[in-house]
Amino acid sequence: MPVSDGYLTYILDQLRPIVPSIRVRRMFGAVGLYATDLFFAVVDDDALYLKVDDTTRGEYEARGMPPFHPFELHASMNYSQLPEEILEERDELHRWTSRSLDVARSAKRTRTTGRGTKKRAAKKSPAKKRRRRL
């Protein structure tokens, strides 16, 4: 189900005081939320999912919040649904959103610094010269 305009407006109104640089990108029926260049949240089926990692996922699970599964048969992505009541509690929303931004920042840093750091496999032996047949 696509994201309703009313719900998206509500989410943006709640998040703008916390993330003034928030921007929206529609993708595959859902909406991605960015803080400048950090992809930190997804809105799908009129539910907000924040970026999580191993250190933050437990708090969502403890509240019974499901992970984001964009496709039924695929593993979940690293986003979990935010409890709806937190959207109305400014201080709590700020805390949960800040943690999500930290996770997104860390993931981006890992992706950026992780590239090209693996040692290459052993050098290939020089190709043997082929004898030319006449």
Distance CA 17, CA 22 (A): 10
Hey, what long-range contacts does 17-23 have (CB within 8 A, 24 or more apart)?
17/90, 18/93, 18/94, 18/97, 18/98, 19/97, 19/101
pLDDT (tens digit per residue) in 74-110: 656 789 999 999 999 999 999 999 999 999 999 888 7
CATH superfamily of 5-114: YgaC/TfoX-N like chaperone (3.30.1460.30)
- Dihedral of the alpha carbons of 72, 42, 76, 115, in degrees to the nearest 10: 130
> Where exactly are the structural domains of the chain?
5-114
Mean pLDDT of 20-47: 92
Residue 63: the pLDDT is: 93
Residue pair 117/97 in contact (Cβ under 8 Å)? The answer is no
Residue 28: the pLDDT is: 81
pTM: 0.77
